[in-house]
Chain A
Amino acid sequence: MIRAAGSYLLAALVGLGACQRTPPPVQPMPVNRALGDTAVRTLHPQDPSDDARRAIAERYVRRERRFREAWEPGSTTAALRVEQHDIDSGRVSLPQLVEIGRELFLTDFTPAQGLGNGLAARKSPIAGAKPAPNLRHVHAKEFGGPDGTRCAGCHHVGGLGGGGFSADNSFLDGDGLHPASAVVRNPRALFGAALLQKLAEEMTAELHAQAQGAARNIPRGSSAPLVAKGVRFGKLSITPDGRLDMSGIRGVSTDLVVRPFGWKGTTGTLRQSVVEGLQQNLGIQAEELIRLRGAAAFFGDGPPADPDADGVTREATEGMVTALLAFIASLPPPVEDAPMNSQFAIMLPRGEQLFTELGCASCHVPELPLHDTVLGLGPTERSRPRVDLAPLLAAAEAKGRTMTVRLYSDLRRHHMGDELSDLRGYRGVPKDQFLTPPLWGVMAGGPFLHDGRAGTIDQAILMHGGEAKAARDAYNKLSIEEGGSLRLFLQSLTRPFYLEFKP
């Protein structure tokens, strides 16, 4: 278990990811399916009339389903309750799973489906005092609000699965009542999340290999840099008496697990993120969360099968979480847009050059290599589906077997100084440390920074501090034209234009 992680919930969830439950006796061999052909829609702007027809047809199917659900309650919601064993046995195909995940992402959960909690009747101190769903805007510690009714409610800017506006900010880890008591967090965009997880897994493996080989490879009394994918994570030292000294580690927790999710890099896998989000933002308790009775104080003091006491058990099955993952993994990744206008096009290379020269690129590392593109979306290693993310990278360069992910991040934490500091630390990460947020697709969203305090990219750059202070000052000294070129380059990091019915 991680010492750095301050909360039981996190510890419990990490445990969940780490420990392997006994696999079911008969388990078909995992199958890798290319994700792209099921879901990737638009890598480049397409004919809008095709787009419009597809969007309208989709809308009418969804509307008809809603009518059907009103007329025959349960007709859609029952179909959404997909079970992991049906996925494992192949009864649910990947395209079906993505479609179910999409619907789960879009739909408003209802109290009958487990939205919120019924803890008010039990006078639980961790929950609010209203009848179910008992929503509230400020979270209480790790229990959460809940503060929303659906995923798409806060992940919609720039298209489905994007980030949130400042009005969508979550007030994490507070007292349930005072916004000022909480840690303010702007919802992050979800596209590319599966790729982030793969990158982080490979980096973690690299770091662990170095730590395990340290006693062999590093002479006593000296140290060696700790590096993963070219990103430096401080150093490992061997004391003169032969013990491993971890005090030189930087930018990652002492367990050397790279966690790419959360503004402070506190969650390691997409699955954990989804399970946490369901609990804290919607009050939907995933089956796999409830199994962790050790941390019951954080999930509610209701009956064992229904800790949040709303009368609904198995609010999210393992299969439903897998479906949500499949949908998130299938979101089209962002693009690097080429300006149509010659005047803008000519400025773009200069902007990219400045991005490196000023030192932005030393943390917002433009690209990281990815060796293995196959990701298991299920709860265990042997679960289905296992998907190949390579088609999502079609727009990036493919160098032999190694793929390149142009994410503009080094996936490590940095000190951002007093300028960006929170009120206090969060889950064991000091208050001024944040994970370098990937900049891909950044201009499709906004506002910027962890609490959405910056309305424009210009403000966002100027609000950097700490380790980014030198780069910020350099930006501030740029001439008007040069500053313009840099922002123009950032503007090219966006998502493809397409037509949709906004969620």
Chain B
Amino acid sequence: MSAQRGAGSASPAPPNLASAGTTGGVLTAPALPMGYTEALVPYLDDVLKTISRKRIERYGTAIEPGELPSELMPRTNKVRFETRIDKLEAHFNAGEELFETELTTIDGFGDAMGGKAPNMHRVHRGAHGGPDTTSCRSCHHRGGDDGAGEWTENALVGGDGERTDRALERNPPPLHGGGAVQILGAEITTALHKLAHYDTKLTEPATVKLVYQGVDFGTVRVMPDGSIDTTKLRALDPDLVVRPFGWKGTHSTLRRFAEEAFQVHHGMTSDTLRQRRLVVGTAPYGLSPATRALTEALGDGPLDNPDRDQAAMELNDDHLSAIAVYLALLPLPVIDPPRAPDLMAAWRQGSTTFQKIGCADCHKPQWLIHKPIWIERPDATTEMRPPIELDLRKDIRNGPPLRNFDTTIYSYPIFLFSDLRRHDMGPELADPAPSGKAAPPPEGDRAPVGPQIPASYFLTRPLWGLADSGPYLHDGRAVTLQDAIIAHGGEAKAARDAYAALPAEQQRALQVFLLSLARQPLPEVTP
């Protein structure tokens, strides 16, 4: 505050950034936080290896330009045939490389439909997508590798390929912690299916409340013949599958999520999608609505090369496994409170306020995972391509494993700050009704966006890692936390109003609390 007063007074104090922080400038930085030194030593060993590996690899790639099929497939092939190789490690490394590679037309980047490859489109053409960028990391880097994207990097999805105002604006979400979310989603799905008597026979219709770990997912009516009336269900898809990925909750696994991203952002079609399209006209059982829509928009080319470019085989099963393993093993975000005593007090106050005014009702702070193991199954599991087991208790890379410090419970807490269900966010946050190729609005003025999800419905955004992931909201419209909170509407209107009615000091305390939801604080190698 002193700096602010100084700036306005007659004889201004010298602007001094060092005095703005409590702890002094960079040169007089405080000692590293407790416990850092131990965490750092093994990490730095790894970093040294990474540096020398990256340097050698880059020179090697310079001599023989590495292309995905030639470069990565032998590696994953080796994984299949050589038992000595650590499969997990190999998949993770290949996935990291896929994530960081600048893709080229030789890899299958882009399409040649009605234009010269790669046929980039900043505004997506319906569900087919752009392509709009050349690498995963180009939009997931904010706050570090695998982070969020800038406003500049918003995807303009489902548009007409031409006008920026006829597409849905989507800010790239941060990717850390995806492995735990994937497992949690599956555990919730299993629990809901049990509740809905998927495995038992009823004699008369029953009304079932779908509640799991305190989250109310709505009500369904189960009939004796096993069918389920889901007309009142809004929080979930009618198949009662929790889909925690995507701003509207459209994918349940990282594999399918990445597959869609490769398709719409890079024009790279997975073999799986291509082959599913071969089963002409039938929507394969078990596909999510999003993947189904994607299958129908691959392109107008021949069946083996729907996007008509040079590359027919663009993304195979091994690539998908690699990227899914990579994403699943990224570290989980952390809660990292401030250090100064007065800020710490504000942080505690903010934490209480978060619960008190109802933010925590949807942004549920804590979930329990019962079995932190994920089996990553290739789409065509064979003896050569066995499933890969990921145990988050030991396999997480570049961060601490999932741990349970409370020995009285047999489960693992994660601090997600989301209830993983959809809510009506009201006209304040609703997508604009898009024209172009999107379906016309059926009734009222809220157009459905994507299959079956109304324009104003969004998945509760997990708030973990929030401090490093601005700008906020699905279209990145809010640069500040204040703007983001105030922009809430619909089911969040009461909490928003409660926030707006708070004294300014409590509002600021809440923001201090939110800023403590951060990424795993380890530096990365550049360039």
B32 touches A45 (CB 8 A): no
Residues of B within 8 A of A445 (CB): 527
Given A166-B134, A502-B141, A75 and B3 touching (CB < 8 A)? yes
Contact between A56 and B14 (Cβ–Cβ < 8 Å)?
no
List the A side residues contacting B150 at CB < 8 Å: 148-150, 153-154, 168
The residue that B40 contacts in the complex, of A52, A112, A148, A162, with Cβ under 8 A, is A52
Is A51 among interface residues, defined by CB-CB distance under 8 A?
yes
Q: Are B30 and A60 in contact (CB under 8 A)?
A: yes
Cβ-defined contact, A99 with B527, below 8 A: no
Cβ of A341 and Cβ of B144 under 8 Å apart?
Answer: no
Complex CA gap A76/B17 in Å reads: 7
| Chain B residues whose C-beta falls within 8 Å of the C-beta of A159 in the assembled complex | 526-527
Q: How far is the CB of B400 from chain A (nearest CB, A)?
A: 16
Query: Which A461-503 residues sit within 8 Å CB-CB of chain B?
Result: 484-485, 487-488, 490-491, 494-495, 497-503
CB distance from B336 to the nearest CB of A (A): 8
**Smallest CB–CB gap between A445 and chain B, Å?**
8
In the bound complex, do residue B338 and residue A167 qualify as a contact, i.e. CB atoms below 8 Å apart?
no
Task: Enumerate chain A residues within 8 angstroms of B25, measured Cβ to Cβ.
Answer: 61, 99
Contact, CB under 8 Å: B151 / A458: no
Chain A: residues with Cβ within 8 Å of the partner, total of 103
Smallest beta-carbon distance B342→chain A, Å: 7
| Chain A residues positioned under 8 Å from B511 (CB to CB) | 70-71
Query: Which residue on chain A has the smallest CB distance to residue B169?
Result: A137
Contact string against B for A residues 126-144, beta-carbon threshold 8 Å, 1 for contact and 0 otherwise: 0000000101111000000
CB distance from B321 to the nearest CB of A (A): 24
Question: Which residues does chain A contribute within 8 Å of B1, judged by CB atoms?
Answer: 72, 74-75
Whether A1 is near chain B, meaning CB under 8 Å from some CB there, is no
* A115 beta carbon closer than 8 Å to chain B: yes
Residues of B within 8 A of A133 (CB): 479
One of A27-35, A117-125, A171-179, A415-423 at the interface: A171-179
CA–CA, A112 to B109, complex, Å?
41
Nearest-CB distance from A496 to chain B (Å)?
9
The complex places the Cα of A495 from the Cα of B54 at a distance, in Å, of: 13
Q: Bound complex: CA of A64 vs CA of B163, how far in Å?
A: 41
Let me know if A137 and B63 touch, CB within 8 A: no
Within B152-182, which residues are at the interface with A (CB < 8 Å)?
A: 152-154, 156, 162-165
- Indicate if the CB atoms of B29 and A459 lie closer than 8 Å: no
| B-side contacts of A217, CB under 8 Å | none
Are A149 and B162 in contact, CB atoms less than 8 angstroms apart?
Answer: no
Q: Which residue of B lies closest to A64 (CB)?
A: B21
Instruction: Determine whether the beta carbon of B16 is less than 8 Å from that of A96.
Output: yes
Q: Does B480 contact A (CB under 8 A)?
A: yes
Q: How far is the CB of B114 from chain A (nearest CB, A)?
A: 13
Asked if B51 CB lies within 8 Å of chain A CBs, one says yes
Residue pair B44, A48 in contact (C-beta under 8 Å): yes
Q: Does A206 touch B at the CB level, under 8 Å?
A: no
Whether A110 sits at the interface, judged by CB under 8 Å, is yes
Q: Given A71-B509, A78-B7, A165-B138, decide whether A135 and B56 contact each other with a Cβ distance below 8 A.
A: no
Number of interface residues of B (CB under 8 A): 102
Are A57 and B30 in contact, CB atoms less than 8 angstroms apart? yes
Q: Is A80 close to B, CB under 8 A?
A: yes
A70 touches B515 (CB 8 A): yes
Say whether, besides A61-B25, A64-B23, A52 and B17 are in contact (CB < 8 Å): no
Residue of B nearest to A337 (CB): B55
- CB-CB under 8 A from A86, the residues of chain B are 12, 14-15
A259 in the interface (beta carbon within 8 A): no
Query: B479 contacts which of A57, A65, A91, A149 (Cβ < 8 Å)?
Result: A149
CA distance A339 to B62 in the complex (A): 12
| Interface window among A360-368, A426-434, A449-457 | A449-457
Minimal beta-carbon separation of B75 from chain A (angstroms): 19
Query: Which chain A positions have C-beta within 8 A of B14?
Result: 86, 91-92
B26 in the interface, Cβ–Cβ < 8 Å? yes
Contact of A79 among B17, B22, B133, B346 (CB under 8 A): B17
| CB <8 Å contact, B44 and A68 | no
| Known contacts A108-B470, A148-B152, A498 near B59 by CB under 8 Å | no
What 1/0 mask marks residues of chain A from 33 to 73 whose CB sits below 8 Å from any chain B CB? 00000000000010011011101111111011111101111
Asked if A70 and B15 make an inter-chain contact with CB atoms under 8 angstroms apart, the answer reads no
Q: Is the CB of A67 within 8 A of B51?
A: no
User: Do the beta carbons of B151 and A180 come within 8 Å of each other?
Assistant: no
B residues 492-527 touching A (CB-CB < 8 Å)? 508-509, 511-512, 515-516, 518, 521, 523-527
Residue of A with least CB distance to B40: A52
**What CA separation (Å) do A382 and B141 show in the bound complex?**
40
When C-beta atoms are compared, the residue in chain B nearest to A159 turns out to be: B526
**Is A497 a contact partner of B338 (Cβ separation < 8 A)?**
no
Q: Complex: how many Å from CA A154 to CA B149?
A: 10
**A78 CA to B20 CA, complexed, in Å:** 9
- In the complex, the answer to whether A444 meets B527 with C-beta atoms within 8 Å is yes
A59 — which chain B residues lie within 8 A by C-beta?
A: 521, 523
User: Given A48-B51, A74-B4, does the pair A66, B63 have CB atoms closer than 8 Å?
Assistant: no
A369 in contact (CB, < 8 A): no
Q: Enumerate chain B residues within 8 angstroms of A52, measured Cβ to Cβ.
A: 40, 43-44, 47, 523
Tell me the smallest distance from the CB of B375 to a CB of chain A, in Å: 32
What distance in Å separates the Cβ of B353 from its nearest Cβ neighbour in chain A? Answer: 13
Contact A149 B102 (CB under 8 A): no
At the interface, yes or no: A249 with Cβ under 8 Å from chain B?
no
B65 within 8 Å of A (CB atoms): yes
B346 closest partner in A (C-beta): A71
B contact residues around A340 at 8 Å (CB): 52, 55-56
Report how far A50 CA is from B109 CA in the complex, Å: 40
A370 contacts the other chain (CB 8 A): no
Q: B residues within 8 A CB of A81?
A: 7, 15
Asked if A56 contacts B36 (CB within 8 A), the reply is yes
Contact B17 A500 (CB under 8 A): no
**In the assembled complex, B48 has its CB within 8 A of some CB on chain A:** yes
In the bound complex, residues from chain B placing their C-beta under 8 Å from that of A180 are 162
Cβ distance A252 to chain B, nearest Cβ, rounded Å? 32
Interface assignment of A109: CB less than 8 Å from any CB of chain B: yes
Check A447 for interface membership: any CB of B closer than 8 A.
yes
Within B122-152, which residues are at the interface with A (CB < 8 Å)?
A: 122-123, 132-135, 137-139, 141-145, 147, 149-152
Contacts of A111 in B (CB 8 A): 479-480, 483
Q: Do A75 and B4 form a contact, CB below 8 Å, given A64-B340, A166-B138? A: yes
- Residues of B within 8 Å of A284, CB to CB, are none
Residue of A nearest to B13 (CB): A91
What residues of chain A lie closer than 8 Å to B4, measured between beta carbons? 74-75, 78
Contacts A56-B523, A67-B515, A71-B342; A153 near B21 (Cβ below 8 A): no
Q: Which residue of A lies closest to B339 (CB)?
A: A64
Q: Which of B32, B47, B147, B515 contacts A66 (CB 8 A)?
A: B515
Among A52, A339, A341, A452, max chain B CB count under 10 A is at A52
A-B contacts, 7 listed (Cβ < 8 Å)? A64-B22, A70-B481, A111-B480, A165-B141, A167-B139, A171-B122, A447-B102
Q: Chain A: residues with CB nearer than 8 A to chain B?
A: 45, 48-49, 51-53, 55-61, 63-68, 70-76, 78-83, 86, 91-92, 96, 99-100, 103, 108-112, 115, 133, 135-138, 147-150, 153-154, 156-159, 162, 165-169, 171, 177-180, 337, 339-341, 344, 347, 443-447, 452, 455-459, 484-485, 487-488, 490-491, 494-495, 497-503
- B contact set with A: CB distance below 8 Å: 1, 3-4, 6-7, 12, 14-26, 29-30, 32-33, 36, 40-41, 43-44, 47-48, 51-52, 54-56, 58-60, 62-65, 102-104, 109, 120-123, 132-135, 137-139, 141-145, 147, 149-154, 156, 162-165, 336, 338-340, 342-343, 346-347, 467, 470-471, 479-481, 483, 508-509, 511-512, 515-516, 518, 521, 523-527
Question: Which 8 pairs show the lowest CB-CB distances between chains A and B?
Answer: A165-B138, A158-B527, A57-B29, A484-B63, A91-B14, A153-B150, A167-B133, A491-B62
A78-B3, A344-B63 known, 19 other contacts, Cβ within 8 Å: A52-B523, A60-B32, A63-B518, A67-B338, A68-B20, A68-B21, A70-B515, A71-B508, A76-B17, A78-B6, A108-B470, A137-B122, A148-B150, A165-B153, A344-B56, A443-B58, A443-B62, A501-B523, A502-B143
